[in-house]
Amino acid sequence: MANQEPDLVEVVKDGIYIIRFNRPKRKNAFNDKIMLGLAPALERAASNPDAAIAVITGTGDYFTSGNDLSNFSKGAGSGGGGGASDKKGETNLEQLAQAANGSFNRLVKAFIDFPKPLVAIVNGPAVGIGVTMLGLCDVVYATNRAIFHAPFVSLAQAPEGCSSFLFPRIMGPGKAAEILLFGKKVTADEACKLGLVTEVFPDEHMDQIWPRLHQWAKLPPVAMMRAKGLMRAHLKDKLHEVNDLECKSLAESWTTEEFMAALMKFFTRKSKL
């Protein structure tokens, strides 16, 4: 049966605001609908009085394969950062820079400012922003099928999602460098040992996550927000500063010959995990 749901599904159930990437045929790659829709979805989750916690997850076998690279190929298209194409579907370097500093910056900002507990349920492999956003989540549960890959340098892009700051803090500078500089792929168990993933579940037991989330969603919501606010308070300004710097760097990287060559390589010979 055809997938009738939108590319970004939002459901509120039993105190949990669930945001689900829903482009399984494209491995949940972030097109404009997801890239531009995710920040408003998080804002709705933050203000929804029926939701004490929020979950992000994906449909199908992938969590997300990151930025939809075909956005760039449509004459550099909508620029992965979202919303950079003009009415003719064309773009220019200035639009790409605006996308990075505008919509992409706003997306990461929404993660930084999210006031309620945010849980990622990583239902399959995660690439690019699908990996980096995890550093901004409070709890990360992953299937044992998940693989984590941040191929920023091989795509001649800059790391984002505050990963340049958070990953060295979470896992130490050497391990962060292997992932962010050299694009080392790590398994769910390795990511758990590194502290990026909180707990790994056998794929067939992923449904065990929900009963505990339902219990936690019944905890006093204001107290949960207060505790999260305190945990993030010391880093918030720094994270916004890092986000601005990373987006500036991302905008520059999208205008390089190296990046165009990397895109050509992807579309002529697709990489496999």
State the residues that interact with ligand COA by CB under 6 A: 26-27, 29, 65-70, 127-128, 151-152, 155, 157, 270-273
Give yes or no for a contact between 134 and 114, defined as CB atoms under 8 angstroms apart: no
Local structure of residue 134 (DSSP, 8 states): G
CB closer to ligand COA out of 102 and 128? 128
Q: Least separation, in Å, of the C-beta of 229 and ligand COA?
A: 31
Local structure of residue 4 (DSSP, 8 states): -
CB closer to ligand COA out of 55 and 133? 133
Q: Least separation, in Å, of the C-beta of 101 and ligand COA?
A: 17
Helices (H) and strands (E) in the chain, counts: 12, 9
CB closer to ligand COA out of 216 and 266? 266
Local structure of residue 68 (DSSP, 8 states): -
How far is Cα of residue 147 from the mean position of the Cα atoms in its chain?
14
CB closer to ligand COA out of 119 and 129? 129
Decide: helix, strand or coil at residue 225.
helix
Q: Least separation, in Å, of the C-beta of 153 and ligand COA?
A: 10
CB closer to ligand COA out of 52 and 143? 143
CA-based nearest residue to 56, from 128, 142, 127: 142
- Which two structure tokens, joined as six digits, stand for 191? 């990511």
Q: Least separation, in Å, of the C-beta of 97 and ligand COA?
A: 17
Using CB positions, name the residue nearest to ligand COA: 128
CB closer to ligand COA out of 56 and 262? 262
CB closer to ligand COA out of 17 and 21? 21
Angle, helices 236-253/105-113, rounded to nearest 10 degrees: 160
CA distances from 243 to 133, 134, 144, 166 (A): 12, 15, 30, 11
Q: Least separation, in Å, of the C-beta of 139 and ligand COA?
A: 24
Angle, helices 163-171/173-180, rounded to nearest 10 degrees: 130
Q: Least separation, in Å, of the C-beta of 87 and ligand COA?
A: 23
Q: Least separation, in Å, of the C-beta of 13 and ligand COA?
A: 29
Cross-strand partners of 149: 127
